[in-house]
Chain A
Amino acid sequence: METFINPKSLFHLLLLPCLLLYSSIAYNSSPVEAAMHTNNWAVLVCTSRFWFNYRHMANTLSLYRTVKRLGIPDERIILMLADDMACNTRNKYPAQVFNNENHRLNLYGDNVEVDYRGYEVTVENFLRVLTGRHETAVPRSKRLLSDEGSHILLYMTGHGGDEFLKFQDSEELQSHDLADAVKQMKEKHRFKELLIMVDTCQAATLFNQLQSPGVLAIGSSMKGENSYSHHLDSDVGVSVVDRFTYYTLAFFERLNIYDNASLSSLFSSYNPSLLMSTAYYRKDLYKRRLEEVPVTNFFGSVMETIHTDAAYKALSRRNSGRFEDEMSLDQSVHHIKRRMLIKVNDGDEIHDINPELLQGEEGASKCPWSTFRNKFQKAENVDSLLNYGLVAMIPLLVISTWLVQ
């Protein structure tokens, strides 16, 4: 027997649970379980200047109007316009911008807050807005103050190409830059979910480098395709809106804040023959099913109201934390088991999320033990059971060897 188990191996066996404990604490200290959709932001960017790019500004302003109508307040919209078409001397209608030749709707009405205008719209500023690395003097209204519960809509329009988007006729945003910025945002918990919508030529190529989870991207055209303008306003003398944006707006015009249209219904509304390009969406990083996500999750500010038992949820969480600290060492083994199960649960909820599970997740964050019990009762996951059994054998083994000696 002595030859069978030596103290060294025993030490190793003891070390393993400690490592597991440490890693599980490190993982769970990130507040994934708190990532609940709590607010909406929109970053709307028109990257091109010059009069003949009137339509890009009209696109952006139309989107601005739509998201505002659907409930995102002005302080949560970062509007970047690279040029001032409304006051361009060539504009036949001074201080007005239209996205339709019927001129029924002036997009540049009373209540437009442009956060970045003209030459302020640069790649640098754009990346600063996304990553939140501003100079100290930048006012709050020009910052994207999102958190881990934010749904962000990032809309960009301008002239693009293979894996780049032109800014201001002088610089480019590359797909790597965008992916890097999104990654930084993810690491800084600046969003829960991010919808990137791009209306440029070869827009799909801009998403190639994205890796961060929770990002959904839709572009107006595939690689090698152009995005075309929808129609020309012969009165103003320029094209006033792009096709992709036009049909997006057409979709939203039918909606109000209470509608429950899903993202998939938006995405399927694009008709390639009308767009003259193929709308492309990338959803491999996005885990929720598009049929179940209302468009107002991004384009509006509609989120579920969750009824909680405790008035001060934060307090209860702190208590549970203290409880964990107070656990004695001999209890730690059981604690490890619990932690592991929680971890497994976390993995599950990333895989398939639906509103019911969201509720469950909320419960889990409040009381891990009850979730564990629920899980156990339901016997949903055989693997977790197996794992549990294996780990439970460790103390048994330790005790038995100790008894034998």
Chain B
Amino acid sequence: MAETKEKSLSDEKPKPRVRPIVRLGIFLISHSFLVSIVCCTAGVLALFLLPVLAKNTYISENALMPGSASPMLSNQHVSDGNRLVKDLTNPNSKSSETGIESHKIIAQYMLDLGAEVSFHKFHPQMNQFHPLHFFSSPVSGKIQENYSCSSYGINTVGIIRAPRGDGKEAIVLVTPYNALKSGFGEALSLGIAYSVFSLLTQVTWLAKDIIWLVADSQYGEYAAVAAWLREYQTPKFSSLSTPNAEMCPDVNNLFELKGHSISGSKFSNSFRRAGTMAAALVLKVRDQNEQFEDTISIYAEASNGQMPNLDLINVVNYLAVHRQGLRVNVEKLWPLLNSSWLKSLGEIFESLAKVAKSLYPKWKFGIPATEYVEGTATLASSLYYQALGVPTGPHGAFRDYQVDAITLEISPKFSLDKVWRNDILLRGGRLIEGVIRSVNNLLEKFHQSFFLYLLTSPSKFVSVGVYMIAFALLIAPLPMVAASLYVDANSSSNCSKGDSSTPSAITDTDEHGIAIRSWRWLNSAKLVFIVHLWGAIVSLLPYFISQIPDCSPTTSFMIWVLLSILSLLTLNSVLASPLACAKATQEKEWALVKSVTISSVFIGLGLMSVINFATAEIGALLMVPMCLLARPLKLDVRAGTLRSFCRLICNLVLGHIAFPPAAFFLLKGMLDGFGNANVGDFWMWVESLWAWNSATYLFIGMVQLPCWVLCVSILFHTC
């Protein structure tokens, strides 16, 4: 009964009822051209709207209570700090060729305060490309590979135990210091840290231990901090590492000497630890002072665009601005500040906001044009440094262990007279004290505020929920265009073959043909797969090239390019030259290739947006237009209309821009000027990317480069 009824129903309705979502999908796919234009425009527009949509930061964690306690740092502590600065800048202390003297001075000062002191000797670990542990955390075992006794650094570590604390948590204060050629700024930063440290030995309110790390920055600030952190986080229980220390007599000498001179004190030869780190502050004082105001710059970006919790930045910003009267800076892309088009864009937004406000007074989203330009410059730099995936300071080492950390760089106002020095010691010290006291109030890890955000000013941010919209709009057309291309390619070949036979009379052979045709995309998929495989090989090549000794960046780059081309040709020939044979069989083959390429790009961008949003965003800006516009040049030339001519030009321009080295040089040229561009720069840049384990490197090698090659192959497709 039911069957017959169903049959009759289906007879009445020749078209089975399609679910709305499917119908919507079909509608979008059939209008993919319009959809892609609208979405891409909206995506770019949304990106430029982000500074307008930025929200004011606020302190999300109740426990922090920054600024609720009045600073306790007094002039006494400042004069203590001043004493240390004087001792360190004293020419006598610099006489020693290894800089051990100044380390001793620092250690002695710490000991006098009653802190636990230890030296941490480390061997600088050259950043090397290890393809096998790309994403893995740094391994302690790697250190012992090759080092000599002559090259080592000494970190001085002082620990204050919280008098009534449980010793489970610690706050880290880092001051990079190069004992061999320290500027006055470094000494001053030590002075500030010391004045805070001397205060903290006296206070009763510590709940977390305080670790003061004087990082020996002669092999780089990051390396020293990273080495100390590695040691701190991965305790060695085996005795393998101990013989190494004994191999270098002068280090032992230093230890022994210290041990003898201060007997019965809290100095220890072994590595000292405190609890898990709640937060870390890296303090620097800039030597040159070109600012007309005391400013403090915050650097927050860690590897792969990871950011510390926004609350940490908020606390520093709040205390610096509202308590110590310092101006807070975050990085900006300075060239953008003077760009007139950005200014006019800002004015447009401003006037639009005015119109909106006049229509409905509650709409208040406009910001002044100058603020917009500044916001955009900050946002661009925020995006750029996150996309690069290279930490902007020693704080990046902490982020690898999920510790929230930022670098504070104080740029003092004017000359180095005594009054001014005391002032900067007092204000800097009180800022650090305030931040430490605030973090000390913390009961849990930083977790209340955002981890995924872009800053548009020190007190404004764009959260993930807002900036993802721009990205989502940008990549939304990709699957639709891919589907529509696939449908087109199939149906057009259908029609060309089977226009004689009506669809109702499908014979066996036709069915077979359709089956074959519907699997035809596999051919294109094979091509795309091969190109991606090639991309992976290209990404691995620098490892072997870097093994070649005495190679200048330029020659390395050249070798890389040559090897890449060679490997592409080899792969092409080995795997039956799919590009050549494809065009012979199908005239619409390029459409299928484009479809599969777009799909793979969509997947790649989607994955990358999870790993590092900023990279995905910039990559999408470059790749999405190129992918969507790609069309064989021959067809456009043949068509000869204005529209096809425009498309031809766009394709050529995009084809150049989207090539990773070209994009790099373009960006570099825009930022630094084209004068000093060098072919080797790209190699250096790539080297730095892999040295920092940046996922951007993988993205460029395995998503962007293959995509570019495929698009170029479509452009030059012979059909």
Contacts and interface: CB of A to CB of B under 8 A. Distances in A.
Interface of A: 50-52, 87-94, 232, 234-239
3 closest cross-chain pairs (CB), A and B: A237-B69, A89-B207, A234-B70
Interface residues on B, range: 20 to 34
B162 A237 contact: no
Contacts of B205: 89-92, 237
B63 A50 contact: yes
Given A50-B443, A235-B69, A89 B206 contact: yes
B69 A234 contact: yes
B62 interface: yes
A72 B207 CA distance: 37
Interface in B376-425: none
A236 B203 CA distance: 12
A89 B65 contact: no
A239 B62 CA distance: 12
A237 B441 contact: yes
B207 A90 contact: yes
Nearest to A169: B443
The residue in A51, A89, A90, A235 that gathers the most chain B C-beta atoms within 10 A of its C-beta is: A90
A401 to B, nearest CB: 79
A21 B374 CA distance: 89
16 contacts: A50-B443, A88-B207, A89-B164, A89-B166, A89-B206, A90-B440, A91-B205, A92-B203, A92-B205, A93-B204, A234-B70, A235-B70, A236-B69, A237-B69, A237-B437, A238-B68
Given A52-B441, A94-B164, A238 B70 contact: no
A236 B65 CA distance: 12
Given A94-B204, A237-B205, A51 B443 contact: yes
Contacts of A232: 68
Interface in B67-92: 68-70
Contacts of B669: none
Interface in B192-210: 203-207
A115 B435 CA distance: 37
Interface in B141-171: 162-166
Q: Mostly helix, strand, loop or mixed at chain B's interface?
A: loop
A233 to B, nearest CB: 9
Contacts of B440: 90
Q: Mostly helix, strand, loop or mixed at chain A's interface?
A: loop
Interface string B50-70: 000000000000110100111
Nearest to B444: A50
A52 B69 contact: no
Contacts of A88: 207
A234 B441 contact: no
Contact of A51 (B63, B70, B203, B206): B63
Contacts of B162: 89
A52 B206 contact: no
Given A234-B69, A238-B68, 9 more contacts: A50-B62, A88-B207, A89-B164, A89-B166, A90-B205, A92-B203, A92-B205, A232-B68, A237-B65
Contact of B63 (A52, A89, A234): A52
A88 B205 CA distance: 9
Nearest to A236: B69
A92 B204 contact: yes
B501 to A, nearest CB: 71
Contacts of B63: 50-52
Nearest to B68: A237
Nearest to B164: A89
A88 B441 CA distance: 10
The residue in A52, A88, A92, A232 that gathers the most chain B C-beta atoms within 10 A of its C-beta is: A52
Nearest to A49: B443
Contact of A52 (B65, B203, B204): B65
A89 B163 CA distance: 8
Contacts of A238: 65, 68
Interface in B316-335: none
Contact of A89 (B62, B70, B165, B437): B165
Contacts of B203: 92
A135 B345 CA distance: 73
Contacts of B441: 51-52, 90, 237
A52 B62 contact: yes
A206 to B, nearest CB: 22
A235 B65 CA distance: 13
A91 B207 CA distance: 9
The residue in B62, B63, B68 that gathers the most chain A C-beta atoms within 10 A of its C-beta is: B68
Contacts of A89: 162-166, 205-207
A90 B163 CA distance: 10
A92 B63 CA distance: 16
A237 B206 CA distance: 12
Contacts of A51: 63, 441, 443
Interface string B17-35: 0000000000000000000
A88 B207 CA distance: 8
Contact of A234 (B68, B204, B207, B443): B68
Interface string B420-451: 00000000000000000100110100000000
A261 B440 CA distance: 45
Contacts of A91: 204-205
Contacts of A93: 204
A236 B166 CA distance: 20
A234 B323 CA distance: 13
A88 B440 CA distance: 12
Nearest to B63: A52
Interface in B221-255: none
Contacts of A52: 62-63, 65, 441
B445 to A, nearest CB: 15
A89 B440 CA distance: 10
Interface in B448-497: none
Contacts of B206: 89
B437 to A, nearest CB: 7
Contacts of B204: 91-94
Nearest to A50: B443
Contacts of A92: 203-205
Contacts of A239: 68
A236 B441 CA distance: 11
Nearest to B165: A89
Nearest to B69: A237
A239 B70 CA distance: 13
Nearest to A53: B62
Contacts of A94: 164, 204
Nearest to B64: A52
Nearest to B71: A234
A291 to B, nearest CB: 41
A105 B466 CA distance: 51
A32 to B, nearest CB: 48
B21 to A, nearest CB: 38
Nearest to A88: B207
A51 to B, nearest CB: 6
A283 B65 CA distance: 38
A202 B62 CA distance: 19
A67 B637 CA distance: 95
Nearest to B443: A50
A92 to B, nearest CB: 5
Nearest to B66: A237
Nearest to A234: B70
A234 B70 CA distance: 5
A232 B68 CA distance: 7
Contacts of B166: 89
A161 to B, nearest CB: 15
A381 to B, nearest CB: 59
Contacts of B163: 89
A236 to B, nearest CB: 7
A170 to B, nearest CB: 13
B65 to A, nearest CB: 6
A89 B275 CA distance: 15
A87 B69 CA distance: 18
B319 to A, nearest CB: 13
A52 B437 CA distance: 13
